[in-house]
Structure 1
Amino acid sequence: MHFLPEKLDDYVVSHSQDEPELLQQLTRETYQKILQPIMLSGPYQGRVLSMISKLIQPQTILELGTFTGYATLCLAEGLQSNGDIHTIDINEELVDFQRKYFDKSPFGAQIHQHLGSAIDIIPTLDMTFDLVFIDADKPNYVNYFHLIIDKLNTGGVIISDNVLWHGKVIEPVNTKDHSTKAVLAYNTLLKNDTRVETVLLPIRDGLTISRKK
């Protein structure tokens, strides 16, 4: 979703860093072979994720929702040389696709895939994180926050995707629309939880940056 006029949005994109060739290849193959390719972060948001990661220079990253690995590779660009990124997804059919592109990148050995429910996997990860990216099933966003907040280092950052949810956050909510209700609850949590300070950015479908105090 674009919140700027198309011409202005085009200007913003054209004056931001270009998408790396490997990610262009990943995008093409995702659109050719994978259902719902719109779930890709895309070149502009990908460069935003890369820049945030490079500014933080994390030792450890946790990603919830791998899809075909586009955002994973963007986030990995900011990893310290001995750092690691753990990425969780429930779709078994995408594991080999992800690994192919991970291993084509300079970060293959640093990227650790976890298959299954993030609700089950997060408690098994015996480590803390400097950066967390949440881009998974919306009804569990609040649950994910509560699972990761104690695993987030002081000064660590949570990036949350789709927090404007196609603009539905400012529209009357259908009682059966569980995803929109969940996003609204999550946005309220991030605003009010005293453990984090939060800014919501109108980038694509909405990105929230929350820093642990």
Structure 2
Amino acid sequence: MSEKLNNYLIETLPQQHQWVTELEAKAKADNVPIMDRAGIHFVMQLVRMSKPARILEVGTAIGYSALRMLDANPDSSIVTIEKDKERYEEAITTIDKLNRQSKIEVILGDALDKLMELSLQKNTFDLIFIDAAKGQYQRFFELADPMLNKNGIIISDNVLFRGYVANPENVPKRYEKMVERLRKYNEMLMNHPNYTTSIVPIGDGVAISYKQS
């Protein structure tokens, strides 16, 4: 999506709560990557429509997307995983400050390890949001899939990664391997026998995968 079009979409959004604006400003000041406003607004709409009882998030950062998803459906409960200790602690602080600790559980640790633990504990979820290390998306998906209920949704952010996924000939060398993995991930999603996937060019690219069986 062009920057001009994305900016237009952001300008059309309704006024946000003060805590949202403050958290966005903090993320920008601390250089913490979070979804842009158009992207998170789209994810929130998916949450409103699907009304998931349980959400699993891979990649908490400072708690922004977990809090926004809960805002979209206050009846949800969310489990979210973050491996960076400083960001984990920031997320805990913010969630406690907003009195959402009874609805959002933040787990500290590597997502690959924690996803396996959650699966062994027989956890199930209605919606899974993947927004962590881009090069590991396929492994995250493979570990998350058994925990997703039938008719559930997996949302993957950044699947177009700055447009490089569609223009691999222009990828800076430092991103080549990651972009190659994202291209393979997108291909896997689109051809998965148990899922129907749409990739939407909003924000940095959002894939919505619906589990049919």
| TM-score (norm. length: structure 2) | 0.89
Note the alpha carbon deviations across 1:138-191, whole angstroms, 9 max, x for none: 111010111111110111001101110111112226597221111011001101
Q: Where does residue 14 of structure 2 map in the other structure?
A: 17
Name the CA shift for 1:180/1:20 in 2 (closer, same or farther; >3 Å). Answer: same
Q: Where does residue 47 of structure 1 map in the other structure?
A: 41
Equivalent-residue separation in structure 2 for 1:91 and 1:176 (angstroms): 21
CA RMSD in angstroms comes to 1.9
Q: Where does residue 133 of structure 1 map in the other structure?
A: 129
Query: What amino acid does structure 2 have at the position aligned with 1:169?
Result: V
Name the SS for the 1:183 alignment partner. Answer: helix
Q: Where does residue 57 of structure 2 map in the other structure?
A: 63
Equivalent-residue separation in structure 1 for 2:207 and 2:127 (angstroms): 13
Equivalent-residue separation in structure 2 for 1:20 and 1:80 (angstroms): 15
Q: Where does residue 27 of structure 1 map in the other structure?
A: 24
Give the CA deviation at 1:22: 0.9
Q: Where does residue 74 of structure 1 map in the other structure?
A: 68
> Matched residues, percent identical?
30
Q: Where does residue 202 of structure 1 map in the other structure?
A: 201
Note the alpha carbon deviations across 1:63-89, whole angstroms, 9 max, x for none: 0111111111111123453x3101111
Query: What amino acid does structure 2 have at the position aligned with 1:193?
Result: H
Q: Where does residue 153 of structure 1 map in the other structure?
A: 149
1:100 aligns with 2:93: yes
1:120 aligns with 2:113: yes
Equivalent-residue separation in structure 2 for 1:112 and 1:184 (angstroms): 32
CA contact (8 A) 1:17 1:47 kept: no
Q: Which moved more, 1:170-179 or 1:50-59?
A: 170-179
Name the CA shift for 1:95/1:196 in 2 (closer, same or farther; >3 Å). Answer: same
Q: Structure 2 unaligned runs (5+)?
A: none
Query: What amino acid does structure 1 have at the position aligned with 2:21?
Result: Q
Q: Where does residue 110 of structure 1 map in the other structure?
A: 103
Note the alpha carbon deviations across 1:3-48, whole angstroms, 9 max, x for none: 2361x4333222233332211111222233x2x33x1113222222
Give the CA deviation at 1:106: 5.1
Query: What amino acid does structure 2 have at the position aligned with 1:168?
Result: Y
Q: Where does residue 179 of structure 1 map in the other structure?
A: 178
Name the SS for the 2:178 alignment partner. Answer: helix
Q: Which moved more, 1:143-152 or 1:102-111?
A: 102-111
Give the aligned length: 206
Equivalent-residue separation in structure 2 for 1:106 and 1:79 (angstroms): 15
**Post-superposition, which runs of at least 4 consecutive aligned residues in structure 1 deviate over 4 A?**
173-176
CA contact (8 A) 1:53 1:77 kept: no
| TM-score (norm. length: structure 1) | 0.89
Query: What amino acid does structure 1 have at the position aligned with 2:88?
Result: V
Equivalent-residue separation in structure 1 for 2:180 and 2:44 (angstroms): 29
